[in-house]
Homo-oligomer: A and B are copies of this chain.
């Protein structure tokens, strides 16, 4: 079969993201990608040049999607926003989360092209900046002391977020991780009430 006018590029990249995220760059074979993506080798190479090209587009799309998702979390106060942000990454009923593609790429850096390396590091930096921005809002809102170590605290919550994405494969279930979030939030001293109403999503 053949001849369709155009395929959905977004769907293709979304499928590629899932493969790269589960297997990593090196272990993801072109065969795995064509199979998951539903494209022939020919079309794939015509559109993305080579494996590295597809990976860079996948990593870029993943980064944008992740940051959009992080930024779209809503809650009344910065602290509740942080908590809702973390809870939004609790594992859902969907099969299993497979870790963060950006973090995995940082671990695989020696295997990546220079462009991909830079993209992975930049993606990590953007995550850190997003969290740091949220903490800064906490300071201006009076929920955090003026002398709060924002960078260090951002790395901490970034670590918790990565744990949420990695630990399901390591034997931690959703309710356990939900309680872990409560522990992590105790690093952000609470003024008034706590407990956010939002539900967990994959």
Query: Does A110 interact with chain B (Cβ within 8 Å)?
Result: yes
Dominant SS among interface residues on chain A = helix
Contact A23 B110 (CB under 8 A): yes
Cα(A104)–Cα(B23), bound, Å: 11
Cα(A107)–Cα(B27), bound, Å: 12
Contact B152 A106 (CB under 8 A): no
Contact B166 A107 (CB under 8 A): yes
* Nearest B residue (CB) for A186: B187
Instruction: Please give the count of copies of this chain that the complex contains.
Output: 2
A108: which B residues are within 8 A, CB to CB?
24, 27
Of A22, A104, A167, A189, chain B has the most CB atoms within 10 Å of the CB of A167
Contact A169 B106 (CB under 8 A): yes
Query: Does A177 interact with chain B (Cβ within 8 Å)?
Result: yes
Closest Cβ of chain B to A134, distance in Å, is 14
Cα(A75)–Cα(B182), bound, Å: 27
Contact B180 A156 (CB under 8 A): yes
Query: Does A141 interact with chain B (Cβ within 8 Å)?
Result: no
Q: A162-B162, A163-B155, A166-B106 are in contact. Are A184 and B182 (CB under 8 A)?
A: no
Query: Does A149 interact with chain B (Cβ within 8 Å)?
Result: yes
Contact A152 B103 (CB under 8 A): no
A104: which B residues are within 8 A, CB to CB?
107
What residues of chain A have their CB less than 8 Å away from a CB belonging to chain B? 22-24, 26-27, 98-99, 103-104, 106-111, 121, 124-125, 128, 149, 151-153, 155-156, 158-160, 162-163, 166-167, 169-172, 176-177, 179-180, 182-184, 186-187, 189
* Smallest CB-CB A-B distances: 6 pairs: A159-B163, A152-B179, A26-B27, A156-B183, A124-B170, A155-B180
